[in-house]
Amino acid sequence: MPRPKQPLISRRLAVRAALRIIDVEGIDGFSLEKLARHLGVKSPSLYHHFANRSDLLAEAAREWLSDIPLGSDPQPVNWQDWFVELSMRTYRHIMAHPKAVQLLYSHFPATSVMPSHERGAQILERIGIPAEARYAIMRGLEKSVFGIAFADADDFVQGRENPPTEIDDERWPGLAKAVAASRMGREEIAEHAVRMYLQGVASAYPVI
């Protein structure tokens, strides 16, 4: 079937609708045909904006991550808080759409983290972190935050407890003791991990 001469829907409308479908059914339940039905058009209408399913999914991933605000620039003494707040906004943004996480697995939009990396690089420069260390710091934090969020989202979708509630204390006594002593939930653990990472950075580069 040929596509219409004029687009019947906007690119942004299609992307937002795709995200809603993926949010409910996951990436495996998404198809261009299903999206077209959701929008009340025929599949060829989508080809005005997207070359194929993968092209649409890549745009959906970019759209999703672009919604995370960076926040205002911090005072130098509060630089760690800025990174914590950005990290937790990112974590919550991902956890609000746990079934869509596979979209980021398969179509992670590297350019979407450039604004936060640019702002982060400027902040690290202002507080005196050496240039050669800045990207490694931001890259490590990025992978920590996304890794924790991806794991927690998967736990949520699969119905796994986190922290786990049943651990064989004879086989794993150290782990069982640590989990029993923990009073933190998923989000608190994520924030604590980010703060410990940044405290390590501050210890390695005591510039403030």
pLDDT (0 to 100) of residue 7: 58
Query: 0.95 exceeded by the pTM?
Result: no
Contact 64, 149 (CB under 8 A): no
Mean pLDDT of the chain: 90
Q: What percent of the chain has pLDDT over 90?
A: 60
Confidence of residue 171 (pLDDT cuts 50, 70, 90): very high
Same domain, 132 and 165: yes
The C-alpha angle with vertex 50 and arms to 115 and 48, in degrees rounded to 5, equals 125
Q: For 119-140, what is each residue's pLDDT tens digit?
A: 999 999 999 999 999 999 999 9
Q: For 2-12, what is each residue's pLDDT tens digit?
A: 555 555 678 88
**How many domains are there within the chain?**
2
Domain that holds residue 151: 70-204
pLDDT (0 to 100) of residue 3: 52
Same domain, 52 and 81: no
The C-alpha angle with vertex 25 and arms to 22 and 29, in degrees rounded to 5, equals 85
Same domain, 28 and 112: no
Contact 43, 4 (CB under 8 A): no
